[in-house]
Amino acid sequence: MNYQQWLKFAEQTLLENTEQDPFLNAKVDANLLLQAVTKRSKSAIFAFSETVLNDVELKQLAELLARRAKGEPMAYILGEKEFWSLPLKVSTATLIPRPDTERLVEIALEQAHKRADLHKNLQILDLGTGTGAIALALANELPNASIIGIDKQPEAVILAEQNRQQLALSNVKFFVSDWFQTLQNRQFDLIVSNPPYIDANDENLMKGDVRFEPLSALVAEQNGLADLQKIIENAPLYLHKNGVLVLEHGWQQASAVQALFKQYQWDNPQTAQDYGGNDRVTWAVWTK
């Protein structure tokens, strides 16, 4: 079987599963699997489409195709995902970085630049860092900032540190901590977080990639608001005056998150939309 024949076979195999997974793109995924096994670029595969696959390659491809046909996310199969143009290792211990979270990075950068004149060495905290995606994106864009990423899962912290080393970023560090638990008297100019915010009864937990992701990184009590509330309530203890908290949340949670900010006496909470036009990121300033 050559490249062209395998791609056709793989695409047909995956198309049979699109009803169970509407996010599956059979043609793109088949090509990515072939690139991963052959170590050849998309253009090379196209140019040399008559190249015959050997037995080892066919065996590897069969295993990967079977995993994707069952709906396993491509990021877990390939072991990596791009975020903010940075290649990141991923594992089943962490969420898969998503494009919508890049909106949080954009808002955080806007707030960071507003405070750069006041603080030459910005102190930034990323709560629930996972793969380190947010912290590493900010570290890449803000070389003079000092950034800490924390996560309660040791496996996530190990993975984030591997990504830091791979990207050779020296202005970010990762630690194990259950939210603010190990930070004691540290204070920051900017705190960012993409915490668990999905209701345990949300039907979307049975669809697409989230079926394979760790529930602990997805689900929160109080209709998905428990961790958001905990962060909003406690963050002032860890912020300098005029510090900012930037949070990602569910597309129907903006009004509830704004209400929580107001309940805990934050100033003027604001919400921004993601690339799909849904409310996704809310932030506020602590002036007390």
Both tokens assigned to 144: 């003079």
Any binding-site annotation on 132? Answer: yes
Is 208 annotated for ligand binding?
no
Flag whether 84 is marked binding. no
C-alpha 149/C-alpha 55 separation (Å) is: 44
Contact 224, 80 (CB under 8 A): no
Check the annotation: does 13 bind a ligand: no
Rounded Cα distance between 44 and 166, Å, is 26
Cβ neighbours around 259 below 10 Å, total: 13
Distance, CA of 178 to CA of 276 (rounded, Å): 31
130 among annotated binding-site residues: yes
143 is in an annotated binding site: no
- The SS3 call for residue 150 is strand
Rounded Cα–Cα distance for residues 226 and 174 (Å): 24
- The answer to whether 197 is a known ligand-binding residue is yes
The single residue listed with the structure tokens 């062209």 is 4
**Residue 277 marked in a binding site:** no
Q: Which of 111, 15, 74 lies closest to 209, judged by CA?
A: 74
Please indicate if the annotation marks 151 as binding a ligand: yes
Binding residues for substrate: 194-197
Binding residues for S-adenosyl-L-methionine: 128-132, 151, 179, 194
Binding residues: 128-132, 151, 179, 194-197
